[in-house]
Amino acid sequence: MKVISWNTRGLGSRNKRRVVKDFLRSENPDVVMIQETKSMKCDRRFVGSVWTVRNKEWAVLPACGASGGILIIWDSKKLRNEETVIGSFSVSIKFSLDGCGPLWISAVYGPNSPSLRKDFWVELVDLFGLSFPLWCVGGDFNVIRRSSEKMGGSSLTSSMKDFDSFIRECELLDPPLRNASFTWSNLQESPVCKRLDRFLFSNEWGQLFPQSLQEVLPRRTSDHWPIVLETNPFKWGPTPFRFENMWLQHPNFKENFRNWWRGFQGNGWEGHKFMRRLQFVKAKLKEWNKASFEELNERKKSILNDLVIFDAIEQEGGLTPDLLVQRALRKGELEELILREETFWRQKARVKWVKEGDCNSKFFHKVANGRRNRKFIKVLENERGVVLNKAESITEEILLYFEKLYASPVGEPWGVEGLNRSPISEESVSRLDSPFTEEEISKAVFQLDRDKAPGPDGFTIAVFQDCWDVIKEDLVRVFAEFHRSGIIYQSTNASFIVLIPKKSLIKKISDFRPISLITSLYKIIAKVLLGRLRGVLHETIHSTQGAFVQGRQILDAVLIANEIVDERRRSGEEGVVFKIDFEKAYDHVRWDFLDHVLEKKGFSPRWRKWMCGCLSSVSYAVLVNGNAKGWVKASRGLRQGDPLSPFLFTLVADVLSRMLLRAEERNLLEGFRVGRNKTRVSHLQFADDTIFFSNTREEDQQTLKSLLLVFGHISGLKVNLDKSFIYGINLDQDHLSRLALMLDCKASRWPILYLSLPLGGNPKACGFWDPVIERISGRLDGWQKAYLFFGGRITLIQSCLTHMPCYFLSLFKIPASVAAKIERMQRDFLWSGIGEGKRDHLVSWDVVCIPKAKGGLGIGKISLRNLALLGKWLWRYPREGTALWH
């Protein structure tokens, strides 16, 4: 089914109706919802001039004078009207559709007047009660939900809060717009853009149409873009083999696996033989799966039917001892099936914070479907701006893009000399090169996440963990061979690239983040090497780098940056802050430069050979809508998804720090002097997030620009100037603009986001905390109530406390009003019923917050948590006297 909604801003003009008619002819929808018809009467002739489909019916909310009005038209051959309800702001139709029960579709036009919005929400809540359970509502709501839905952002207004409350209390799904951020603009030279139009639907609608997709269509007239909701299934290609962790629940699995593993006969190199053995087991697994696991739903139906029969016999006169035993066995089979089903969907959903066995299968199913929907590529724009909509041309464009991305640039490599590299100690070199032990390998295997998506071999780490006693001897021999030769075979180092959207508006292949799914064997090898490398990085990485080094934390960098900016502002001295973005940072790293860095930092030839083996044998296939396409051989870049990559990148980025320090020593660059000891700080790094502090002299900016250009040439890490910004401290705008022009970047204003926390803002202002409120609101979205039982809701609340506000709470004092608002959201979510809206709060929140040992749920008060996290700095202060933040 295809539903289109469009605020056309009037249909009185013949020319406009002609444009709308041509648009609908090209789109061929099943339902059309038009707002602001500005028409008092819509007869057959009028409707026919808008949509020419032969079999159609319609319903109308007449305009009030020359404003408002709603027209909803549908194809009567596909949808049969059972009931029509016309309200003050909506038109709702009850349809019957083959293959499902009755469903409701409502077209709305929200009022602009704040005084009428209360009536609007009341009407929509009434419609939700009338149309339950299958309801979809769409149209121009004339209000945004999030501050991000207005260009440039917006403060939270009462209307936004009411809209958000309506969605959450009715437990509606708010699907993202896949190809745009806004649905309305004022058509001015400096436009104001908002997302006023959207589709919302109930959980039951989401279950009936799990692959529903919402997009913006081209705007031919009006100041609103048309939006479309499509419920048709995606056309996914054949997917590669993937081990299902639910197979591990089968009582005979481990014995079968042992027999298959030992039944393989083969010769050759240990690494190659190990991968061939996995291929042999894969073939056996496919046969065994067909024989042992018939369709889960069919088996479940069969068991439930048997239980109904047993219950009927019991009510007629009782069950015999044999029937009692059979009923108990069937109930046991049902529990086992439910656990397998939940394990299956949990693996696909990749949700870490909630566990199996908590009756959350529907939740996992919903998350898994959401992941598939977001990753589906329907159309793609190539480098020339041509829109591709055929599977073959999309695949060809994607493969061409990755061939270019991972191709090493032509030309002689450059080097840089005269830097203090801080090489690692001889003792560390010896430790890095020592033989691998079974204990070390076992520790790495059991530290890995058992549910992570598998690579081309198809096996999850859960197999290695549960069958460790079967595979450990062969795995130890693979490591012994790798220690001697340093060779990793191409089959071991093959990868799938999965394309993860970076944002909701996806147009080009560059809008996706390529994440590598690596084989289970390489994942274990990389994890063991990482364990060794992690232990020596602190010897060679400068203190300005805060990522992936033992004893350093992400909050250190944010604290230092805030203190530097605040102190500079108070001093009255001029200064600039330059925040840069590296273009495709991981993907552009030159392998020859990385090897040069390892050599200069004192790593042995053996370790460098191992790193070369990990990089040079890499090849990729790209998963396009679930189907593996092509093979691309890489000659540069670090894979996002390889455990080693962040640590190798840190070594590369450290060279930039050393270059900047050398420039400071030669008085070519001057940073800020901060603290009691007037410590000089010119830059901070956290992996590829880099921020510079300097005075306002043009010579310093020119030096910085030259250093970045040289570093980009030798390492491959070029600065993306379109995403780099300069900010002034106590500096007039004209001077800042001149410096921005010199650096070829953009001048911007405070506050800014640095490592996802505000820099240069006022934490006492409630608006400072709006991003936290919005993130928690989105995470505790109403739809999750319908899929999570009480235990799951408790876990989600605790997860939100840990991962969302705590990042802010570790650095800033939260205002009491903001803490109260967050706790109110948590209370409402905890006590919400399954599809029942609000319910009474059965226990005082003070009791809920106390520890479990004392009868509470251990959620904790936000204000107390804030004090504890801030107090941690006092605990760290005497213990980390040499840290840069000290």
The secondary element (H helix, E strand) that includes residue 265 is: none
Q: Give pLDDT, residue 775.
A: 81
Give the count of beta carbons closer than 10 Å to the beta carbon of residue 104: 24
The answer to whether the CB of 108 falls within 8 A of the CB of 68 is no
Give the count of beta carbons closer than 10 Å to the beta carbon of residue 873: 14
Q: Indicate left, alpha or beta for 11 from its phi (over 0: left) and psi (-120 to 50: alpha).
A: alpha
The secondary element (H helix, E strand) that includes residue 380 is: strand 380-381
Instruction: Choose the weakest-confidence range: 201-205, 280-284, 460-464.
Output: 201-205
DSSP of 24-45: HHHH--SEEEEE----S---HH
Q: Give pLDDT, residue 6.
A: 95
Q: Give pLDDT, residue 871.
A: 92
Q: Is the pLDDT of residue 403 over 80?
A: yes
Q: Give pLDDT, residue 346.
A: 54
Averaged over 545-554, what is the pLDDT? Answer: 82
Q: Give pLDDT, residue 825.
A: 83
Q: What is the pLDDT confidence band of residue 429, given thresholds at 50, 70 and 90?
A: very high
Exposure string (b/e) for 60-92, b if CB count within 10 Å is 16 or more?
bbebeeeebbbbbbbbeeebeeeeebebebbbb
Summarize pLDDT for 32-85 with one digit per residue, the tens. Answer: 999 999 988 888 889 999 998 888 999 999 998 778 999 999 999 889 899 999
Query: For residues 507 and 319, what is the distance between their CA atoms, to the nearest angstrom?
Result: 64
Contacts of 374 (CB under 8 A, 6+ apart): 176, 178, 501
Q: Tell me which DSSP letter residue 815 carries.
A: P
Summarize pLDDT for 467-481 with one digit per residue, the tens. Answer: 999 999 999 999 999
What is the pLDDT of the chain when averaged over all its residues? 86
Q: Which pair of structure tokens corresponds to residue 565?
A: 């900016």
Greater confidence, 677 or 856? Answer: 856
Q: Is the pLDDT of residue 786 over 60?
A: no
Tokens 């790798």 correspond to what residue? 482
Instruction: Determine if the peptide bond prior to 751 is cis (ω within 30°).
Output: yes
Query: For residues 462 and 450, what is the distance between their CA atoms, to the nearest angstrom?
Result: 4
Query: For residues 207 and 199, what is the distance between their CA atoms, to the nearest angstrom?
Result: 16
The answer to whether the CB of 565 falls within 8 A of the CB of 729 is yes
- 0.85 exceeded by pTM: no
Instruction: Choose the weakest-confidence range: 28-32, 309-313, 326-330, 608-612.
Output: 309-313
- Helices assigned H by DSSP within 35-150: 44-48, 114-131
Q: Is the pLDDT of residue 236 over 60?
A: no
- Helices assigned H by DSSP within 601-685: 605-616, 645-665
Q: Give pLDDT, residue 492.
A: 92
Q: What is the pLDDT confidence band of residue 408, given thresholds at 50, 70 and 90?
A: confident
Greater confidence, 750 or 250? Answer: 750
The answer to whether the CB of 93 falls within 8 A of the CB of 81 is yes
Nearest-CA neighbor of 160 among 147, 172, 169? 147
Averaged over 164-177, what is the pLDDT? Answer: 87
Query: For residues 878 and 867, what is the distance between their CA atoms, to the nearest angstrom?
Result: 19
150: which strand partners?
Answer: 194
215: which strand partners?
Answer: 228
Q: Which pair of structure tokens corresponds to residue 404?
A: 């270019």
- What angle do helix axes 438-447 and 468-485 make, rounded to 10 degrees? 120
Q: Which pair of structure tokens corresponds to residue 756?
A: 């996802």
